[in-house]
Amino acid sequence: MAREVDFFVEINPFDRYRQKHLSNKGKILKFTVQYETNIGGQWLPVVRYDTAHGFFHRDVMHPGKRQEKIYIKVKNYQ
């Protein structure tokens, strides 16, 4: 049976780390790791590593611009 874990780690009052992953029998099936910063009272993503869209990649968010998606080649997530 798959198990989902989702949590935040506060680095300081303006920065935090978010992790969410789905695992089954100790193997990671999919995940998201995201760095967020607080600007004007709103938490905004800065960079995210995840397996959405069926592949491992990094998204870099540029304020006022589109996000940059960078493919990362790996054999597995272990």
Tokens of residue 8, six digits: 């935040």
The amino acid sitting at 78 is: Q
Q: Is the pLDDT of residue 20 over 70?
A: yes
Question: How far is Cα 20 from Cα 10, in angstroms, rounded to an integer?
Answer: 15
* End-to-end CA separation in angstroms for the chain: 18
Q: Report the pLDDT value the prediction gives residue 14, as an integer from 0 to 100.
A: 96
pLDDT tens digits, one per residue of 26-70: 898 999 999 999 999 999 999 999 998 888 999 999 877 888 888
Question: How far is Cα 20 from Cα 73, in angstroms, rounded to an integer?
Answer: 20
Helix (H) / strand (E) containing 27? strand 27-39
